[in-house]
Amino acid sequence: MIARTGYDSAMLARGGRETDGDEVSREVSLDGARTTQRALAVHRLLNSQSRIGTAPLTDGRRIPLPDIHPPRADLVATLALRRSAEDYADRPLDLTTLSAWLRFSVGVQRFVPAYGVTEHPLSMAPTAGGLDSLRAYLAVRTAEALVPGVYRYEAVSHELVELSTVDPVHALRHVYLQPEFVPRAAVSLALTARLDEAFDRYPLRHYRTLHVDSGVAVQNLYLVGTALGMACCAVAGFDDTALSGLLGLPETEIPTMLFAAGHAA
Ligand SMILES: Cc1cc2nc3c(=O)[nH]c(=O)nc-3n(C[C@H](O)[C@H](O)[C@H](O)COP(=O)(O)O)c2cc1C
């Protein structure tokens, strides 16, 4: 039986098939919208910010990312080399580097039958219950073949979806609490958590687990970035409302981490 506070990996292992015990999961699902609102109330309280409606951005061009070989690097050597960078090369991020970074940090690792579908994607960065609970966005200042703007990464098709072609530099100065990152980072990657996806299945305490999911992805971004010769820094110091506005997030999606990146100096 999956308890209300329980973890849904048992269901994932059964290929998404329900058992009698899953009645409890259905109850949680019915309650999902209410739990999402409660989580948003906690989130705003923690950030001392009230709700400011953000203008949604509509999907534009889809930009396929090139196929790439995985970086060849020793795991322990990469762990030992990894640093939070202050110095970034003053040049655009190569498209192949960007493609490899996204593919091997937060791309799809495999598909499994789960949650009522035969091919449910599981990420290179594991999430609680294998839920599709995280999204990755890019605010591009300078990258090869990309117009400065905002993009959403689509892991299954390994594409970027263009959301805005407004240069994000001005907005990023209000996003980073340390604006010195703005001119250094060629791209800023934002991880977000999808509250509706999470609270359709889990109770309110899963608000914490979503941040653990993000932390797992952060370490992937650091390690794959290091293996690719990138300069990276996880940045928790950001303004939630300003970042949500830049990305045009729906109310049920919250930014969890920002990541400055470029080529190493
Ligand atoms: C979750 C997380 C959040 C961080 N947030 C910031 C930040 O807001 N600003 C910053 O300059 N560095 C930030 N860092 C970088 C840390 O300061 C850095 O990892 C730490 O000093 C250790 O240095 P190292 O990463 O080079 O080993 C963050 C790191 C992590 C893991």
pLDDT at 164 over 90: yes
Report percent pLDDT > 70 for the chain.
Answer: 88
State the pTM of this model: 0.90
Placement of tokens 């960078």 in the chain: 85
Atom of ligand 1 nearest to the CA of 181: 11
Strand partners, 153: 160
Pocket probe mutation, ligand 1, options 78, 81, 83, 235, max atoms within 8 Å of Cβ: 235
Question: Is residue 63 within 8 Å of 146, Cβ to Cβ?
Answer: yes
Q: pLDDT of 37-71, one tens digit each? A: 999 998 999 888 877 778 899 999 999 999 999 99
pLDDT of residue 229: 97
Atom of ligand 1 nearest to the CA of 237: 8
Residues 6+ apart with CB under 8 A from 23: none
Atom of ligand 1 nearest to the CA of 177: 8
CATH number of 9-263: 3.40.109.10
Token duo for residue 132: 């599709």
Q: pLDDT of 80-109, one tens digit each? A: 999 999 999 999 999 999 999 999 999 999
Mean pLDDT of the chain: 90
pLDDT of residue 109: 98
Placement of tokens 């919250």 in the chain: 254
DSSP letter at 211 equals H
| C-beta atoms surrounding 99 within 10 Å | 18
Pocket probe mutation, ligand 1, options 79, 81, 84, 175, max atoms within 8 Å of Cβ: 84
pLDDT at 78 over 70: yes
Placement of tokens 């994000």 in the chain: 168
Kindly give the pairing relationship between strand 159-164 and strand 149-154. antiparallel
Mean pLDDT (whole number) for 179-195: 97
Q: Among candidates 36, 12, 18, 3, which has minimal Cα distance to 253?
A: 36
The end-to-end CA distance of the chain, in Å, is 53
Alpha-carbon span 107 to 85, nearest angstrom = 23
Q: Residue 18's pLDDT band (boundaries 50, 70, 90)?
A: very low
Please tell me the distance between residue 181's alpha carbon and the centre of ligand 1 in angstroms. Answer: 13
Token duo for residue 126: 């594991």
pLDDT at 5 over 80: no
97-101, 138-142, 197-201: least confidently modelled range:
197-201
Q: Which of 191-225 are b and which e, b meaning 16 or more Cβ less than 10 Å from the residue's Cβ?
A: bbbbbbbbbbbbbbebbebbeebbebbbebbbbbb
Please tell me the distance between residue 112's alpha carbon and the centre of ligand 1 in angstroms. Answer: 34
Please tell me the distance between residue 235's alpha carbon and the centre of ligand 1 in angstroms. Answer: 6
Please tell me the distance between residue 43's alpha carbon and the centre of ligand 1 in angstroms. Answer: 22
Strand partners, 232: 261
Ligand 1 pocket residue status of 233, Cβ below 6 Å = yes
pLDDT at 10 over 70: no
Ligand 1 pocket residue status of 51, Cβ below 6 Å = no
pLDDT at 19 over 80: no
Q: pLDDT of 215-241, one tens digit each? A: 999 999 999 999 999 999 999 999 999
